[in-house]
Structure 1
Amino acid sequence: MKKLFIWLTAILMAVGLGILVPGPASATTSYCGLVWGSMSKSDNTFSKASVTNVRTGQHYCFDRMVVDLDGPAAGYTVRYVPQVIQDGSGFPVPVRGGARLQVTVNAPAYNPDSGQPTYNPANQAELSNVSNYQTFRQVAWAGSFEGYTNIGVGVRARLPFRVFTLDGPGSGSRLVLDVAHFW
């Protein structure tokens, strides 16, 4: 009877430890439940909206860049590139980080009728201070030419990202880029 009690105790302890000890992570496990990829993302729609602001924010699982527009959301192309290039001139835009995202918004940063700027960054090399961000290393202006606006985003490494648009505030809209902190 004593041996049975010892064996039963040993089995219960082994089962209990098996429940308390986590198993190995699988290849399908994602960081923070994010299942984004790092391939190019685009929406080819156009709008009469203009870019009015670029801002950034930090979240628990990702860093975020928001491009504000003064009308309905425009299309975009976001992709990793070896070097961010200015549209029109073809000049490289230096961007810090282990990887670079070129964000092209299908909207100008000027009024198409008057040619007056709707967004004129004070410091084109640093659109937003991202010095303490986990993923972003730099957000740089790459110009606005023939109805397109380009922004270079330097990131720590080639990490998964997502892009989407939101309506508002008011009659405006926003293009949102989220880049995960980890895979």
Structure 2
Amino acid sequence: MHARLRQFVALASGALLAACLSFAAPASAATTATAATAQTQTPLVVNARWGGHATYDRIVIDTQGYVPTVTVTPVPQLIYDGSGKPVPLAGKYFLEIRLNPAAAHTDAGESTYQGPRLQKIYLSKLKGLALTGDFEGYVTFGAAFDTLPYYRAYALHSPERFVVDIAH
């Protein structure tokens, strides 16, 4: 008799456990889907700013969502992505900062970017900054310098932003 009771309790426990797992699965699947959706939404570029420090100048690009992949590349001149026209920033050396995937506008076409589009800057190294493109998942900035820039680039979080430090 005790063997039958143990068998019944084991079967009932197994059925109860299976029922609980089947109810829990959709909730965890929804959580995973929500996390995946948040990461796959295109991050928005909302601002660019700069500052001078004792041993370096800093460029900060603020994003909403997450910091996308960013490449910082020395280029011989700055050009606007859409037109191919030169960016009117004085300098001998230039860096292109390209974020992808990223956008500086909403799906409805409204700008999310509140920073400068073309700005002369009078810091030790940094002489200018321009938003040079917002097209097909790429947002591009150009930075101008009078001397060869030695830089370090990295992402920071909470709030989300990308930083380029240029040594003096």
C-alpha contact 1:108 1:147 (8 A) present in aligned 2: yes
Deviations 1:127-150 (A, max 9, x none): xx622x100111122121111111
The residue type equivalent to 1:116 in the other structure is E
Residue 177 to residue 119, structure 1, CA distance change in 2 (3 Å)? same
Deviations 1:42-93 (A, max 9, x none): xxxx862110000001111110000000111111111111111222322221
Partner of 1:130: 121
Give unmatched runs, 5+ long, in structure 2.
1-39
Q: TM-score, normalised by structure 2?
A: 0.70
The residue type equivalent to 2:70 in the other structure is Y
User: Quick check: 1:69 aligned with 2:60?
Assistant: no
Match of 1:153 among 128, 143, 150: 143
C-alpha contact 1:139 1:154 (8 A) present in aligned 2: yes
Q: TM-score, normalised by structure 1?
A: 0.65
C-alpha contact 1:47 1:74 (8 A) present in aligned 2: no
C-alpha contact 1:63 1:178 (8 A) present in aligned 2: yes
- Looking at CA atoms only, which structure, 1 or 2, has the larger radius of gyration? 2
Partner of 2:19: none
Match of 2:44 among 40, 50, 60: 50
Match of 1:178 among 156, 161, 165: 165
The residue type equivalent to 1:179 in the other structure is I
The residue type equivalent to 1:146 in the other structure is E
Partner of 2:23: none
- How far apart, in 2, do the equivalents of 1:47 and 1:137 lie? 34
- How far apart, in 1, do the equivalents of 2:71 and 2:146 lie? 20
Work out the percentage of aligned pairs sharing the same amino acid: 37
- CA RMSD, aligned part only? 1.7
Match of 1:108 among 95, 103, 111: 103
Residue 47 to residue 84, structure 1, CA distance change in 2 (3 Å)? farther
Residue 82 to residue 118, structure 1, CA distance change in 2 (3 Å)? same
C-alpha contact 1:51 1:70 (8 A) present in aligned 2: yes
